[in-house]
Structure 1
Amino acid sequence: MPHPRRGSTTIEQLLTLTLLAILATITILGSGPLLDAAAVETGAREAASLFALARDNALATGTPTAVRIDRARHRLVVHAGADTVAAALFAPSHIRLTSTRDSMTYAASGLGTGAANLRLVLSRGHRSDTVVVSRLGRVSRQ
């Protein structure tokens, strides 16, 4: 009496692995835009928070506080006088920064100084988000 077959053949195992590899590739390629959107959303929230922190610091301490945009290093740095209050690095997330100005300074009153609004565009892949800071110091996202 023949014994029932147990296990699988090498061909069956190779077909299974090939199918799994194809499905994994489709999943990874399809998740790229989703990952770009998540990274840009998080980066825009962080950038808006840094501008709000700078304004709050200027109001609380009475010291002019600036947010400097370092496009070459993909980072934002909040300065109050010679002190660094906070910083955010966007290079690990592969987020590119472009802006209309290189910095935004808040006076002790919390109002922005300078003659123009600031637009900061964060982008990765085909996804981008814009943070706008008005002359009055208000932060909004578009």
Structure 2
Amino acid sequence: MEEVESLIPSVIQRITDAITEVIKLGVTRVVVPGNFPNGCILIHLTTFKSNDPASYDVFKCLKGLNNFAMNYNTELQRAISLLRENHPGIDIAYADYYTAYLWVFSYAPSLGFDVASVQKACCGIRGEYNFDMTKMC
């Protein structure tokens, strides 16, 4: 995890550079997507499964991967703020996928989702998450 965390600044810099380039080309509106809560993604839940209940949060997502995603999103939002300061005439929006994803989890029953199925692949074949790496949808 430390190695992946160490890559965040360079990834953010590449994104910032790409946004700067499209602004130079004349773009006046940019949407920059943040990261999903990776600890809730079925492939990650399957690959990094833990027997330690403390590894999971209230949504039964992996805390470590979600902390990584939050750190990444925080750094990305800082970079977006700097871009906005440097390009005041450009609309730069942050798409907060992390919060939106967890909002759906929080309100799954009122949105018509079966809570027992929220963390199951709809087209899978077996396993706790109805997800199998050898038989992907």
TM over 0.5: no
Higher relative contact order (CA 8 A, sep 6+): 2
Which structure has the highest helix share of the two?
Answer: 2
Q: TM-score, normalised by structure 1?
A: 0.30
Which structure has the highest strand share of the two?
Answer: 1
* Bigger Rg over Cα: 1
Q: TM-score, normalised by structure 2?
A: 0.31
